[in-house]
Chain A
Amino acid sequence: MRREPVLRVVGKLLIPYMLLFALYVQFHGDFGPGGGFQAGVISAAAIIFYALIFGLPAARRLVPDAVVESMVALGALLYLGVGFAGLVLGGNYLDYFVLDRNSVTGQLRGVFWVELGVLITVSGVMLKVFYIFASRRRPD
């Protein structure tokens, strides 16, 4: 599909907005439907869209495999790290109340980082699954 000018132009126009929409869904999760999981899927979909139009090798140059695999691990570590932060600040594991002097702000802060971790991991997993399936050769 690399030779289709319409797709290429529309794709290049749309992809930044898809990523922006992912961020909107991420931060809107506090007030309405949304959150890290959905945002992670949307941001991965933007890259997958790019791969469909410009080919898998181009997408792999944009987001290399090593980055994708690190994302899977880093997101989970970020989540776990929030848990440990609760411990270090004198609360129980995953205690958000102690993350700020005001316990409500603490809860918001905890959820913010946890959701960011979810975004990173989900996005990484979606891309990893896509790369694995897309790079499989058809049996002859």
Chain B
Amino acid sequence: MLEHLPALQVVVPLAAAPLIVLLRRPRVAWLLASAAALFAFVAALVLAAEVASTGAISYHLGSWPPPWGIEYRVDALSAFVLVLVAGVGAVVMPYAWRSIPAELPRDQHYLFYALQCLCLAGLLGMTITGDAFNVFVFMEVASLSMYVLIALGRDRRALLAAYQYLILGTIGATFYVIGVGLLYLLTGTLNIADLAQRLPELAGSRPALAALAFITVGVSLKLALFPLHLWLPNAYAYAPSVVTAFLAATATKVSVYVLLRFYFGVFGARQVVESLPVTGILIGLSVVAIVTASLVALWQADFKRLLAYSSVAQIGYITLGIGIANESGLTATVLHLFNHGVTKGALFLLVGGIALRAGGAGFEQLRGLGRAMPLTSLGITLAGLSLIGVPGTAGFISKWYLVLGALQAGQWWLAALVVATSLIAVAYVWRFVEAAYLSAPDERSAPAGEAPRVMLIASWLAVGACFWFGIDTAYTVEGARRAALFMLGGLP
């Protein structure tokens, strides 16, 4: 059975969705979804361990050999992303046990769990597949379920946010598929490894450049690179708490992975980095994203929206690493993908607890929260440290490699910028500390009482991970470094 794990990784969550629709009962739905998520996490861990010891795994769906059939390919990079996505998918399930009944009417529970499973399957599929068109199919599976998940939010504005995301996300997916179509016309193949072999001789031809441009713009829409991030703040702010935490930690990250895959796995570092101004553009946009989104975050009246804008800024750090494009820079990108996923996941999970007790996460509701919800407040403050990048936290490790990469590339001003913009993060995390610990509660603030225990446990697992991966970096740094080497062609 072990050799079929790459297929089961995707198929088990995928099969859970129709089963849930068939059985309908909320408890059964939760049980099935949790079992599928847990299985996916274990499978991802096993696959990652296997890749680390024996090298890339290739699985031929339907026994059609690539490049004719669809190939699932687990390598150093995709294994790392699989662990992140499946891990977050598993952690949010116990949280959903209490959070979903509080936010959704009972007759929608089974639909939520079915969609959650579909979304997880889509994201895992995007990561594991070695076929460029199959990426598009899974992108649609994940995105369509995301639109509906966001629209499930209690706030009526969730509907508008989902619609905005639907329009922009569809444009993004269309651009992506146009790019893939051009590549197919050029080379006659859709298999990523095969594409990578055939493209170098066509490098610089106009359709290849157009394909690169279409894929860059399309995927950038999905990963919310400035200025294509406009769908993100509303989508994160109005979606149900579980959905926000899950999406913030995984959805944009998988899109970054797709971009990395195409830049370094298909077009190749030589073309993208050396002969085209792609990295310059990426650095420029990332810098603007980091600075403006951090500043905008500073002025938000709602903590959930603040975190959403902070996500846009953090995605800037991730793409900055791609722009720097040396070993440390790419290590930083992959690391930050993981570390920021864990950090933002923790923060959004904890904010979900506040929203449950106080009915929202506006700053006026956070006044005196340190006394009303001590564990939640402490968790947010600690995860906030990781968001800033304080030594000892996961956020520090990725920023360290980012600074290192910038210095190695001789761009000291980028290093200075990373450090300077972390100060803006200090400012917006401080806004929470000030409201929670230094303001007296008034009639609008949250009533005393912690979030339900399972929600706290799930959130604190994520907070713990922020510190675990800040202190014991063997797993993440080694994984990210292997992924970076793999992308730069140093690893088979």
Write out the residue numbers on chain A whose beta carbons fall within 8 Å of the beta carbon of B203.
none
Contact with B along A80-112 (1 / 0, CB 8 A): 100110110001111111100000000000000
- Select the stretch in B11-19, B229-237, B239-247, B348-356 that faces chain A: B11-19
Interface residues of B, CB < 8 Å — how many?
Answer: 16
Closest-CB distance, A37 to chain B (whole angstroms): 15
Rounded to whole angstroms, the CA-CA distance of A115 and B21 in the bound complex is 21
Write out the residue numbers on chain A whose beta carbons fall within 8 Å of the beta carbon of B18.
72-74, 76-77, 80
A73-B61 in contact (CB<8A): no
* Residue of chain B at shortest CB distance from A78: B18
Write out the residue numbers on chain B whose beta carbons fall within 8 Å of the beta carbon of A70.
21-22
Query: For window 38-85 of chain A, which residues contact chain B by CB distance below 8 Å?
Result: 69-70, 72-74, 76-77, 80, 83-84
A92-B7 in contact (CB<8A): yes
Rounded to whole angstroms, the CA-CA distance of A86 and B61 in the bound complex is 10
Contact count band on A: 20 to 34
Mostly, the B contact residues are: helix
A93-B15 in contact (CB<8A): no
Closest-CB distance, B351 to chain A (whole angstroms): 33
Closest-CB distance, B43 to chain A (whole angstroms): 13
**Given A72-B21, A77-B22, A83 and B11 touching (CB < 8 A)?**
yes
Rounded to whole angstroms, the CA-CA distance of A75 and B306 in the bound complex is 43
Write out the residue numbers on chain B whose beta carbons fall within 8 Å of the beta carbon of A83.
7, 11
Rounded to whole angstroms, the CA-CA distance of A97 and B60 in the bound complex is 13
A contacts, CB < 8 Å to B:
69-70, 72-74, 76-77, 80, 83-84, 86-87, 91-98
- Knowing that A74-B22, A80-B18 touch, tell me 12 more A-B residue pairs with CB under 8 angstroms: A72-B18, A72-B21, A73-B18, A77-B15, A80-B11, A86-B62, A86-B63, A91-B63, A92-B7, A94-B61, A95-B62, A96-B62
Q: List 30 A-B contacts (CB under 8 A).
A: A69-B21, A70-B21, A72-B18, A72-B21, A73-B18, A73-B19, A73-B21, A73-B22, A76-B17, A76-B18, A77-B15, A77-B18, A77-B19, A80-B11, A83-B11, A86-B62, A87-B4, A92-B4, A92-B59, A92-B61, A92-B63, A93-B4, A93-B7, A93-B8, A93-B61, A93-B62, A94-B7, A94-B62, A95-B62, A98-B63
